[in-house]
Amino acid sequence: MGLMLYDQTTFSNKSAGTHGDCCRACCATILQIDPSDLPHPIAENGEWNMAFHRALRERGYSLRTVKNLPEWAASLEAIDTGWGDFVIPRIVMATGISPRGVRHAVVYDRLAQRMIHDPHPSRAGIEVIDDFDYLGPFPCPTPPENT
């Protein structure tokens, strides 16, 4: 049995006031869980839905962002992420603006530097990668004390 690739079920539409759930589809693909096991990641007010983050934490993960790609993209070595030293997973979410003009997330292999899955039906991906989000361990590792 191969990797299950999950698609988003809601889409961003400003006039309708809806928010896409690409992040949920990406997390479900990475964790290989049913997307319906995770709440929609965006609340009605457009902010993060904390129930989504609680559901990830109940599974032992927290969602984190890395903006400085060059220092970790092609390495499997432990680095200081600000959350403690550990190896960032090879499979992450790349985020940026889609060809549709909305912020979007795709599943990305950071070592091969290629998209694995776009959860949007267009499969168009993102135009430029702005950030990477990854699922790190929860609770967060404690950085060593400075002596």
> Whole-prediction pTM value?
0.87
More confidently predicted of 71 and 91: 91
Contacts of 56 (CB under 8 A, 6+ apart): 27, 38, 62, 63, 135, 138
Contacts of 21 (CB under 8 A, 6+ apart): 8, 9, 10, 35, 40, 41, 42
35-39, 95-99, 117-121, 133-137: least confident range:
133-137
Q: CATH says 22-137 is which class?
A: alpha beta
Which pLDDT tens digit goes with each residue over 29-86?
A: 999 999 999 999 999 889 999 999 999 999 999 998 877 655 555 555 555 555 566 6
